[in-house]
Amino acid sequence: MLRRSGDHRYRRVVMHVDLDYFFAQVEERLNPSIADKPVVVCVFSGRGGDSGAVSSANYIARSYGVKAGIPIYRAKKLLQNADAAFLPMRRELYEEYSNKVMEILRGYADVMEVESIDEATLDITEKTGGDYAEAEQLAARLKKHVKNETGLTCTVGVAPNRVVAKIAADVAKPDGVKIVKPSEVESFLKDLPVKKLPGVGDKIAKLLNDIGVETIGDLASADLLRLSKLLGKAVAEYLKLAAMGVYDEPIEEKQERKQISRIITLQNNTRDVDDIARQLEKPVQDLLEIARRNDVDAEALGIIAITKELKIITRSHTIRTIPPKDELLRIVRSMFKNLLAENPEMMLRRAGVRLHNLKKRSGQTTLTSFG
């Protein structure tokens, strides 16, 4: 049971979830034939040729030295004899997967904070009754659930605060679980290099190494005044507390959702607008329901078309207010009609509807805890 006495800091159970090689893993799921080779998702700069950078690489590609941020031409050189798949980034697709995963994760949290497209921090204190054995089981269930629903693996770290939970997930990658109980925090952190602390990049690491601070343990016992002179007071204080394993900040649902969408896989690849509109009736109904429940209106209506080649195309249409269901479906139908008329060869595999530029009907513009 949740203890209500003792050191407040150590009462919480915090979970950090990070999807493994996220963009590249989504590409593998959609095209399993590339999963046994190096996969490199690239952001081409648009200047032609191989100009641009690597965005995500699967673990096979990483074994050749390829990683996020390096130039594409360098990745190609490293992988020249490896039959690698170099793919352009398809952000909307990853966002769709991300939304789905976040929806699943929310069901496991008392409160959840979305940190980025592929990671979230969950306060699971109440869900686990403050019990770490319970947390371990919850982590296993959550991983299985995400895998079943999306085909994706993730890594989970559990600890008494968000910083240690994030580091735990980082060291357990890929497809891992790492539980750090309150009594284990110090020994877990002690020998890790300072670079493992969130917020310590190459620059700060170098400054710390120069004064003989190599490990998180070194940092925990370093003199605060000395650190302050080196890095400024705010950074020094954060780092010292983080290194001691006691930096604590509540988990808050901050994510402002400015759009809601629903995407379905069509029964068959098709370009029949009546068929598409019919299949979108249920998703449209869902969107209207979510908008009503959250008391929001939308200023734009969008459609999402994913072709049989998995190309993603979106269109958007300004609206004054969310129309009733039949009217909304009529607009959606005509948007698909126009899109398909412009692309005579196009066959759709998936189709979706999106309400965006959401606003509270009461006039507020910030939306929280939504959906």
Catalytic site residues?
A: 119
**In the complex, minimum distance from the CB of residue 59 to ligand DCP, in angstroms, rounded to a whole number:** 8
What amino acid occupies position 251?
I
**Strand bridging mode 119-123 / 312-318:** unpaired
Contact partners, residue 184, CB within 8 Å, separation at least 6: none
Q: Helices 325-342 & 281-293, crossing angle to 10 degrees?
A: 130
**In the complex, minimum distance from the CB of residue 247 to ligand DCP, in angstroms, rounded to a whole number:** 21
Per CB under 6 A, which region of 15-23, 141-149, 219-227, 298-306 contacts ligand DCP?
Answer: 15-23
Does 181 help bind ligand DCP (rule: CB under 6 A)? no
Compare residues 22 and 188 and give the one whose CB is closer to Ca ion. 22
Contacted entry of ligand DCP, Ca ion, none for residue 23, CB cut-off 5 to 8 Å set by kind: ligand DCP
Per CB under 5 A, which region of 25-33, 116-124, 237-245, 361-369 contacts Ca ion?
Answer: 116-124
Does 19 help bind ligand DCP (rule: CB under 6 A)? yes
The binder of Ca ion chosen from 13, 18, 180, 355 (CB under 5 A): 18
Tokens standing for 37? 């080779």
What amino acid occupies position 287?
L
Compare residues 96 and 218 and give the one whose CB is closer to Ca ion. 96
Contact partners, residue 164, CB within 8 Å, separation at least 6: 14, 157, 180, 185, 188, 189, 245
Contacted entry of ligand DCP, Ca ion, none for residue 173, CB cut-off 5 to 8 Å set by kind: ligand DCP
Contact partners, residue 172, CB within 8 Å, separation at least 6: 155, 156, 157, 178
Does 188 help bind ligand DCP (rule: CB under 6 A)? no
Does 21 help bind ligand DCP (rule: CB under 6 A)? yes
**In the complex, minimum distance from the CB of residue 69 to ligand DCP, in angstroms, rounded to a whole number:** 4
**Strand bridging mode 119-123 / 111-116:** antiparallel
Nearest CA to 34 among 52, 53, 60, 67? 60
Centre a 10 Å sphere on the Cβ of residue 157 and count the other Cβ atoms it contains.
27
Does 173 help bind ligand DCP (rule: CB under 6 A)? yes
Tokens 């780092």 sit at which residue? 239
Site residues for Ca ion, 117-176, by CB under 5 A, read 118-119
Contacted entry of ligand DCP, Ca ion, none for residue 174, CB cut-off 5 to 8 Å set by kind: ligand DCP
CA dist 76 and 80 (Å) reads 6
Tokens standing for 307? 């072709």
Nearest CA to 261 among 284, 294, 278, 295? 284
Compare residues 96 and 119 and give the one whose CB is closer to Ca ion. 119
Does 68 help bind ligand DCP (rule: CB under 6 A)? yes
CA dist 53 and 70 (Å) reads 6
The binder of Ca ion chosen from 12, 13, 17, 22 (CB under 5 A): 22
CA dist 14 and 226 (Å) reads 31
**Strand bridging mode 177-179 / 154-159:** parallel
Compare residues 112 and 169 and give the one whose CB is closer to ligand DCP. 169
Per CB under 6 A, which region of 5-13, 19-27, 137-145, 292-300 contacts ligand DCP?
Answer: 19-27
DSSP, collapsed to helix, strand or coil, labels residue 53 as strand
Does 105 help bind ligand DCP (rule: CB under 6 A)? no
**In the complex, minimum distance from the CB of residue 148 to ligand DCP, in angstroms, rounded to a whole number:** 20
Does 118 help bind ligand DCP (rule: CB under 6 A)? yes
**Can you name the residues that pair with 318 across neighbouring β-strands?**
300
CA-based radius of gyration for the chain:
24
The binder of ligand DCP chosen from 56, 98, 128, 161 (CB under 6 A): 56
- Preceding amide of 174 cis, omega within 30: yes
Does 363 help bind ligand DCP (rule: CB under 6 A)? no
The binder of ligand DCP chosen from 18, 96, 113, 115 (CB under 6 A): 18
Residues that bind ligand DCP (CB under 6 A): 18-23, 55-56, 68-69, 117-118, 173-174
Residues that bind Ca ion (CB under 5 A): 18-19, 22, 118-119
